[in-house]
Amino acid sequence: MSENEELNYYILFANYTQGLLLQEILKKDGISARIAPAPRSIQGELSCGMSLLVRQEDIDGVRESIERNHAEYHEIVSLPCQIRPHRNKFC
């Protein structure tokens, strides 16, 4: 991974309820988190297959919010950004 490569953070959960609750907590705290399928390479044994996708610049706020609200989650994993906005764009 190069120094300039952007990271995305995936928050994994044991069940969907945990994920939806954390998304609401983050929304109240003004932090953007998008529901996304957990990448197969990081799903692990306990993951329900759902994740919250968080940008690199928001991760410190996310960790603070999780701790402050005692939110449940399985794991936070970073991966190089796989979203390519101009991929397959034909017009």
Q: What does the pLDDT profile of the chain (91 residues) look like in tens digits?
A: 445 678 889 999 999 999 999 999 999 999 999 999 888 777 666 668 899 999 999 999 999 999 999 999 999 999 887 666 666 555 5
Residue 74 has φ and ψ, to the nearest 5°, of: -90, -50
What is the topology classification, in CATH, of domain 13-80?
Alpha-Beta Plaits (3.30.70)
DSSP 6-17: -EEEEEE-SSHH
In this prediction, residue 40 carries a pLDDT of 76
Residue 30 backbone class (left: φ over 0; alpha: ψ -120 to 50; beta: rest): left
User: Which of 26, 30, 33, 43 minimizes the C-alpha distance to 77?
Assistant: 43
The residue ranges of every structural domain in the chain are 13-80
| Residues 12 and 51 sit within 8 Å (Cβ to Cβ) | yes
Is 33:22 a contact under the CB 8 Å cutoff?
A: yes
Per-residue pLDDT at 1? 47
pTM: 0.81
